[in-house]
């Protein structure tokens, strides 16, 4: 299971790992190639959260990335979905910071209509992944469950 490999790789606190293990996560990696974008709609039903992974070192594609992200998040069936943006490849020296990516993707334009966060990460090193997933799970669960 990919999520467990990611969690093991991050070597984070046991408390945070337990938080994620309280919830069942169905995760689909649908890829971003132009030829398969039309299939994204097949995964929208009952979606509570979207994870958008950005190659932080690929500056030339930021405009396309922004356009596709905003187009996706305007889908009616994703109206209530939380958005987590992973600013990946932070281990690459030429990588944009999470703040630079947030600005390039115009994430502030979504602040009135959606819960979102951006997390700097390195999938290669495992850095930042657990923090991002923890935020996503907390945000979704806070909207779905009433705590006593």
32 annotated ligand binder: yes
Mind giving me the DSSP string for 47-113? --EEEEEEETT-GGGHHHHHHHHHHHHT-GGGTT-EEEEEEE-TTSTTPPPHHHHHHHTTGGGGTTT
Does the annotation list 88 as a binding residue?
yes
Answer yes or no: is 103 a known binding residue: no
Q: Residues with catalytic annotation?
A: 33
* Residue 26 annotated in ligand binding: no
SS3 assignment, position 14: helix
Whether residue 90 is annotated as binding a ligand: the answer is yes
Please state at what angle helix 129-144 crosses helix 14-21, rounded to 10 degrees: 40
Binding residues for GTP: 32, 88-91
Binding residues: 32, 88-91
């Amino acid at each position: 299971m990919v999520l467990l490999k990611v969690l093991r790789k991050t070597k984070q606190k046991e408390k945070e790992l337990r938080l994620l293990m309280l919830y069942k996560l169905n995760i689909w990696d649908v890829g971003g190639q132009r030829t398969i974008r039309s299939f994204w709609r097949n995964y929208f039903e009952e979606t509570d959260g979207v994870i958008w992974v950005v190659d932080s070192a690929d500056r030339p594609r930021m405009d396309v990335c922004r356009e596709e992200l905003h187009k996706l998040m305007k889908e009616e069936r994703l109206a209530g979905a939380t958005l987590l943006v992973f600013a990946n490849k932070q281990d690459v020296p030429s990588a944009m910071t999470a703040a630079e990516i947030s600005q390039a993707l115009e994430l502030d334009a979504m602040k009135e209509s959606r819960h979102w966060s951006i997390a700097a990460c390195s999938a290669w090193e495992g850095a930042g992944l657990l923090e991002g997933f923890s935020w996503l799970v907390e945000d979704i669960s806070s909207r779905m469950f009433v705590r006593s």
